[in-house]
């Protein structure tokens, strides 16, 4: 009888430890998921966004005020960021396919201007880009990118309201869903 009690206690202890382990794993996964999700954005930050201007790689100024009135996808990227470089052709093709539908795309390179110019000389993009540098990192943070993850993309409605944010590489399914959202 005593051996059966010991065995039952060991079984209970085993299941208790397994349950504690699973609970700790779920708590850790939930914490990590929440930490890396885009944060909420205040209306003031969105209004500030529309006042921003950046130098273009080819010269001149990229003013976000000029993009108001149509849906706008803004992609924060850098030449040293492999997922950024991987997604740029997808975003460029999306821009080309939807430009006539009044869907706008802008890239903000959070990088050294010389590196961006060199990259765009080798692999030109059809959508406009701005040289954001460290100011781009700060702007991304105000738009919900608390961890300064790259790539980072945001979608604005035609009325200027922030609709969506995504930390990490965009996929075709993201772009399709965002297009449907503003159509």
**Host H or E run for residue 63:** strand 61-63
Contact 39, 142 (CB under 8 A): no
pLDDT band at 103 (very low <50, low <70, confident <90, very high): very high
Full DSSP string of 7-45: HHHHHHHHHHHHHHHHHHHHHHHHHHHHHTSPPP--HHH
Say which range, 88-92, 120-124, 144-148, has the weakest mean pLDDT.
Answer: 144-148
**pLDDT value of position 183:** 84
Is the pLDDT at 132 greater than 90? The verdict is yes
Alpha-carbon span 30 to 154, nearest angstrom:
23
Average pLDDT, the chain: 85
**pLDDT value of position 27:** 41
**pLDDT value of position 25:** 42
Full DSSP string of 87-149: HHHHHHHHHHHHGGGT-EEEEEE-S-HHHHHHHHHHS--SS-EEE-HHHHHHHHHHTT-TT--
């Amino acid at each position: 009888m005593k051996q059966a009690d010991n065995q039952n206690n060991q079984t209970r202890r085993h299941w208790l430890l397994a349950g504690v382990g699973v609970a700790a794993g779920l708590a850790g996964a939930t914490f990590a998921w929440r930490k890396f999700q885009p944060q909420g954005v205040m209306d003031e930050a969105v209004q500030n966004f529309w006042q921003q201007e950046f130098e273009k790689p080819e010269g001149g100024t990229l003013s976000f005020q000029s993009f108001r009135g149509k849906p706008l996808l803004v992609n924060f990227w850098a030449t040293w960021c492999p997922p950024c470089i991987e997604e740029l052709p997808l975003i460029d093709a999306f821009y080309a396919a939807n430009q006539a539908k009044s869907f706008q795309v802008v890239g903000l390179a959070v990088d050294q201007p010389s590196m961006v110019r060199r990259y765009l000389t080798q692999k030109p993009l059809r959508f406009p880009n701005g040289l954001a540098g460290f100011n781009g990192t700060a702007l991304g943070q105000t738009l919900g990118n608390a961890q300064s993850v790259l790539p980072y993309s945001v979608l604005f409605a035609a009325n200027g309201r922030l609709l969506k944010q995504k930390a990490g590489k965009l996929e075709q399914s993201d772009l399709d869903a965002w297009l449907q959202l503003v159509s």
